[in-house]
Amino acid sequence: MLEKKLHLGCGRTILPGWINLDFVDVPGVDVVADLNNCASTPLPFEDDSIDTFLASHLLEHISNTLPLMQELHRIAKPGATAVFRLPYGSSDDAYEDPTHVKQYFLQSFGYFSQPYYWRADYGYRGDWLTEKITLFVDRAVYENTPISEIMNDVRKYRNVVLEMVVETRAIKPIREPRKELQIPPRIEIRMSN
């Protein structure tokens, strides 16, 4: 069976072999849908039908992320992967674009899983396990710097991370909202030219 891959918020970057989805109907877009409206308008896909998701510089534009992530979970096959590329929350890139409405940090993606809701229930029923977060930093600044020093700078300063790539996996059925079920992601640092 052919793998179904969904490119979310594709814009003008049309990927061959993918289902290209955007809220604007431009040439190459296969599905037109507003990802901010997932709470009221389901995406036009069957349950458990998508194997792979890619969202490159999309999530920071979405104001209603929990309904979106729950809807993606609905259409994801068990074990489906989703990769998100986005600006790191403490970078100017996260704030300068007036269409960016949310900022994301190392712990942000944990809230797309059930174990992070051990103290409160907001009705979210998706469960994405964050497996790996890659932080891209400037090679000219950090090439021979120990990882511990880079991570210290990430926590203390702005504009250290040039881009963040988050790799997640759909957990089905969803886990219980218990703190002890939280699994920290692997954090990697990569140099960018």
pLDDT in tens, 95-148: 999 999 999 999 999 999 999 999 999 999 999 999 999 999 999 999 999 999
CA distances from 34 to 8, 71, 143, 178 (A): 10, 12, 41, 32
Please report, in angstroms and rounded to a whole number, the separation of the first and last CA atoms in the chain: 39
Tell me the backbone φ, ψ of residue 135, rounded to 5 degrees.
-105, 120
Average pLDDT value for residue range 160-175: 98
Beta strands at 50-56 and 19-22: parallel, antiparallel or unpaired? unpaired
Checking if the pLDDT of 1 tops 90, the result is no
Residue whose C-alpha is closest to residue 130's, from 166, 154, 97: 166
pLDDT at 145: 97
5-192 — its CATH code? 3.40.50.150
Q: How far apart are CA 135 and CA 190, in angstroms?
A: 6
Cβ–Cβ < 8 Å for 94, 87:
yes
State whether residue 179 is helix, strand or coil: helix
pLDDT at 2: 84
Over residues 47-104, the pLDDT tens digits come to: 999 999 999 999 999 999 999 999 999 999 999 999 999 999 999 999 999 999 999 9
pTM of the model: 0.96
pLDDT tier at 17, thresholds 50, 70, 90: very high
Beta strands at 31-32 and 161-170: parallel, antiparallel or unpaired? unpaired
Q: What are the boundaries of each domain within the chain?
A: 5-192
